[in-house]
Amino acid sequence: MTVNSIGVIGAGQMGNGIAHVMALAGYDVVLNDISEEALTRAVEIIQRNMDRQVSREKISAETRDAAMARIATTQELPQVAKTDLIIEAATENEGIKQKIFDSLLPHLAEHTILTSNTSSISITRLASRTDRPEKFMGFHFMNPVPVMQLVELIRGIATDKETYETCLGVVEKLGKTAASAEDFPAFIVNRILMPMINEAVYTLYEGVGNVNSIDQSMKLGANHPMGPLELADFIGLDTCLAIMNVLHDGLADTKYRPCPLLTKYVEAGWLGRKTQRGFYDYRGETPVPTR
């Protein structure tokens, strides 16, 4: 199947990044969100990020302008349903995702492929609620989307070969690399990454080290570009907790039990960079550890 148009649902950090790379690759993009303010902000962010690519000579000004012209925004889900491939990139909440797909179904073209950018939720379960489980799969980008080279492709139990190969072709056109994952909780990247972050929070919770010493240890001792607590703030502590809960519930193994301190931060609304406070306080000129 040939894909010419892409629908992206959710104009947040992941959604605007997906719209960015799709438009640069030559696809017509329809970006959807329930908030007009979020859509306006997303377009501004995409413009700013593309301007940075021009200044670094990664792309030409002409390429940027052509890509920006390919991005349309809408608050109406039926407008997204007219595209060839839809990527749902809403918040990591299964109930919200199911409502989105339920709302899309009456308006979809017969050929439209449905995908989710979920980082942990069962693709098979999401697909089973739709009228096209064979045309449904996981399309999981890494953050930040324009920079990160990997895309996880996750087949549900019913996903057919044509759908997988179509999505693989899109990834290749983006100039990214696909990793095929089976449909088990958190797939590959987060199955490995999130328990490491959770263990770093336990290390903090138990007083083995403070925020600085934990992050410095992993950056300088394991050559990680970011410490695990710094990375958790970047991802969003609510997202980290949601994925740990999916792992714990889906695999029923106590090693995936979310650290109580992670839960406490989320309950406080200290979700990381997006709320200006998490394991670091970002309200000043430089981030300051909160513990």
Binding residues for NAD(+): 10-15, 33, 92, 97, 119, 143, 274
Q: Name the phi and psi angles at 136, rounded to 5.
A: -135, 135
Q: Which two structure tokens, joined as six digits, stand for 209?
A: 């080290």
Q: Which two structure tokens, joined as six digits, stand for 103?
A: 């709302």
Alpha helices in the chain (DSSP H): 13-24, 36-55, 61-69, 77-80, 94-104, 123-128, 161-173, 189-205, 211-221, 228-235, 237-251, 260-268
Q: At what angle do helices 228-235 and 211-221 cross, to 10 degrees?
A: 110
Catalytic residue among 32, 119, 120, 198, which? 119
Catalytic residue among 16, 20, 116, 152, which? 152
CA distance linking residue 47 with residue 79, whole number of Å: 22
Does residue 20 have an active-site annotation?
A: no
Catalytic residue among 117, 190, 198, 230, which? 190
CA distance linking residue 195 with residue 8, whole number of Å: 29
Residue type, 244: M
Centroid of chain to Cα 146: 12
Task: Detail the residues annotated as belonging to a binding site.
Answer: 10-15, 33, 92, 97, 119, 143, 274
Provide the 3-class DSSP secondary structure of residue 8. strand
Centroid of chain to Cα 41: 17
Does residue 140 have an active-site annotation?
A: yes
Does residue 190 have an active-site annotation?
A: yes
**Which are the catalytic amino acids?**
119, 140, 152, 190
